[in-house]
Structure 1
């Protein structure tokens, strides 16, 4: 991350704080969805629990890793920036959907998918910056997390696709169990 931080470490910390804010929110979103999934009596929903728990744990790891990077650059992991406040505001709408008591699981999966789209875009930006700075160490770290986020997104896309097929075309719902 040294090459990436050479020119403007404060701006890099700002970007990392933004990612950290969104990852922190993602952990809360997954926790809520997991609690509702665990209460389900639907075997297909229960069959998704391990995958969704693994994704939640990856989000928590991303948050912890980002905090380590922010500290290493001299930043305050509890600090805020304009970008992190923006990320919190953006996430608040998704959070409101997921925290509502009357939401059905398909709607919660949809909201999670929206969060993962934003998450993917954030890691994509960091990856592009690391490439431009020729920072192979940062690039490898970002690519690893970006690939995990892409897996989350693809799984949620598949889930939403299967719900849509069942609702629009009829037939039995077949939710994914493995990514």
Structure 2
């Protein structure tokens, strides 16, 4: 991360704060969805629990890793930044959907998919910056996490496609259990 931080460490910390804010939000969103899934009596929903728990745990790992990186650069993980405030504002709509009491699980998966799209784009930006700075260590770390986020996104896309096939085409609902 040293090469990436060489020119403007404050701006890098701001970008990392943006990711951190979003990862913290993601953990909270996954926790809510997992609690509702666990309360479900539908075998297909229960069959998704292990995968969704693994994704939540990866989000928590991303959060912890970002905290370490911010601290290593001399930043305060509890400070707000311009970009962290922006991402907090942007994610409020997704949070509102997921935290509502009367929302269907299908809509929760849709909201998580929207969150994963944003999350993936954030890691993509960091990876592109690391590549431009010739910071191979940072690039490896960012692309690892980006690949994990891509897995989350692909799984949620499959889930939403299965719901659409059921509702639009009348096919039997067959939710994914494995990524």
What is the TM-score normalised by the length of structure 2? 1.00
Aligned residue in 2 for 1:152 = 152
CA offsets, 1:106-150, max 9 Å, x none?
000000000000000000000000000000000000000000000
Let me know the Cα RMSD of the aligned residues. Answer: 0.3
- Please show how residues 26-175 of structure 1 align to structure 2 within 5 Å: 26-175=26-175
> 3-state DSSP class of the match of 1:98?
helix
Q: Residue 156 of structure 1: SS of its match in structure 2?
A: helix
Q: Structure 2, unaligned stretches of length 5 or more? A: none
Query: Partners in 1 of 2:127 and 2:22 — Cα distance?
Result: 16
* Offset of residue 171 of structure 1: 2.3
Shift in Å at residue 90 of structure 1? Answer: 0.7
Runs of 4+ in 1 over 3 A off after TM superposition: none
Q: How many residues align?
A: 179
User: Are 2:177 and 1:177 aligned?
Assistant: yes
2 CA distance for matches of 1:89 and 1:60? 21
Any unmatched runs of 5+ in structure 1?
Answer: none
CA distance in 1, matches of 2:75, 2:58: 23
Please report how far the alpha carbon of residue 172 of structure 1 lies from its aligned counterpart in structure 2 after TM superposition.
Answer: 1.1
